[in-house]
Amino acid sequence: MGHFRGYCEFHNESPWKIQGHFHFQILEKMQIVGRFLSRKFEFKGLRSIEDVASCLYAYDESACYPENSEWTYTRYFAVDAFDNGWRLYKQAPTIWKSFSYLRSLEQLPTKNEIPMEYFARTVDFLLTEKLQTINDFEGFSLKDINEAIIESGYIEGSRYLDRPNEEKNK
């Protein structure tokens, strides 16, 4: 993932773009710029409840753990609830609401978009950490999801990620 982050930074109109190209020029590696940095690609986060539900559906129905097993992530970590019909994708509205609530509460300068990195960390925390502390699990509460989002680093990361945009608008 690190190479994608660098790629995005080169094309985010930040000092990285100049420094990055200059670095490759010094190393006489302009073929790198020509091959990998010639087009601008904007990676978008999750921008709607439907996006969130689609990702969560993959945890429920197609992404397996351990790899090459018949067990999806949701089933692996929440066997009884899964066997009783609970699906993670049904929590998409609550997860979306929680990200929106924390964004507003913390007065984060981000657009209404959830970066995939923080979304994945949130789901990971819910399934691997939070779920283990809940007896008779039937679903995550808003409080559980808020805790997971905070643990994901979303709040701190959102403040950091928006600094270049603030500087650019001055």
- What was the pLDDT predicted at 129? 96
Q: What is the pTM of this model?
A: 0.72
* Residue 61 and residue 28 share a domain: no
| 52-56, 60-64, 166-170: the lowest-pLDDT one | 166-170
- Residue-wise pLDDT for 88-124, tens only, equals 999 999 999 999 999 999 988 767 889 999 999 999 9
Same domain? For 25 and 78 the reply is no
Split at pLDDT 50, 70, 90, the class of 14 is very low
Taking CA 115 as the corner, what is the angle to CA 166 and CA 63, rounded to the nearest 5 degrees?
170
Range of the domain at 27: 2-43
Domains of the chain: total: 2
Does residue 69 fall inside a structural domain? yes
Please report, for residues 32, 51, 140, 153, the alpha-carbon distance to residue 79 in angstroms, rounded to integers and kept in the order given: 47, 25, 15, 28
d(CA 127, CA 29): 44
Residue 168 lies in a domain: no
Contacts for 79 with CB less than 8 Å, ≥ 6 apart = none
Between 26 and 77, where is the model more confident?
77
29 & 94 share domain:
no
Q: How confident is the model at residue 65 (pLDDT cuts 50, 70, 90)?
A: confident
Q: For residue 78, what are its two tokens?
A: 């929440």
